Amino acid sequence: MMKLALIIGGSRGLGLALAEQYRTAGWVVYEFSRSGTGEGHIELDLVGNDFSAYTNLLQQLAQADWQEIVLINNAATILPIKPVTQMGQDELMAALQLNFSHPLLLLHEFVVTFAQHPARKVLAQISSGAALRPIAAWASYCASKAGVDHFMAVLALEQSTAKYPILAIVLDPGVMDTAMQATIRASDPAQFPELARFIARKEQGVLRPAAEVAQFCRAAIARAQQGLRYDIDG
């Protein structure tokens, strides 16, 4: 029987590594993003409002006889990196759409579409330590990550009594050597008080490669238990 992996934000970094590893393992893989171009890419702009390609594909896939179905939400932007008093409403709204409101709509669509599918189903949210503690200049990112984590916790509670449950879990990948980290290091030190710490992490070589983190995520998904948070740092 076939296995299906769906990755929101799978064109680069961790998402790309996950797509490649699942595909190598023999899974059918679709990745949803603006910038992807490879096999299984579906155009999806999370700042826009047209999710029809995603919705239509899910409805088609729900008719197949899958053994296992995994959806990973990896879509996120760290921007804007600035104090709340210096944020514009437009950039705040764009960040909240990409990080929070639009991903919730996509996760909801998955839950509704596959609710009666008997396969083992895992819905995994790529979270961050920023969901658990405040970081100055990261208000939109911290709030969004915390909000989606809470959505996942409620979903896990509800799914615990479902006939064909979806396992809702949260994955904390720690600090990775990705484009997001490069964006952080390029931020304005006058606006981001912790900048020096992030630059030091790169210089000290402590950032994990995306492929290593992808292996952790896949292992956690394989052993997933309802409602748990899996932290790469323990």
Residue-level pLDDT at 37: 80
Structural domains of the chain, ranges and CATH numbers in brackets? 2-231 (3.40.50.720)
Residue-level pLDDT at 48: 84
Residue-level pLDDT at 38: 82
- In 3D space, the residue among 59, 56, 70 whose CA is nearest the CA of residue 28 turns out to be 70
CB atoms within 10 A of CB 196: 11
Q: Residue 189 burial (CB < 10 Å; 0-12/13-18/19+)?
A: exposed
Residue-level pLDDT at 199: 97
Q: Alpha helices of 62-185 — where are they, by DSSP H?
A: 89-96, 102-113, 139-159, 179-185
Residue-level pLDDT at 194: 96
Residues with a known catalytic role? 141
Q: How far apart (Å, rounded) are the C-alpha atoms in residues 53 and 51?
A: 6
Q: What is the DSSP letter of 176?
A: B
Residue-level pLDDT at 46: 87
Residue-level pLDDT at 90: 96
pLDDT tens for each residue of the chain, 234 residues long: 799 999 999 999 999 999 999 999 999 999 999 888 888 999 998 888 899 999 999 999 999 999 999 999 999 999 999 999 999 999 999 999 999 999 999 999 999 999 999 999 999 999 999 999 999 999 999 999 999 999 999 999 999 999 999 999 999 999 999 999 999 999 999 999 999 999 999 999 999 999 999 999 999 999 999 999 999 998
Q: How far apart (Å, rounded) are the C-alpha atoms in residues 200 and 212?
A: 21
145-165: burial string, b at 16+ Cβ within 10 Å, e else: bbbbbebbeebbeebeeeeee
- In 3D space, the residue among 178, 234, 176 whose CA is nearest the CA of residue 208 turns out to be 176
Look up residue 107 and give its amino acid: L
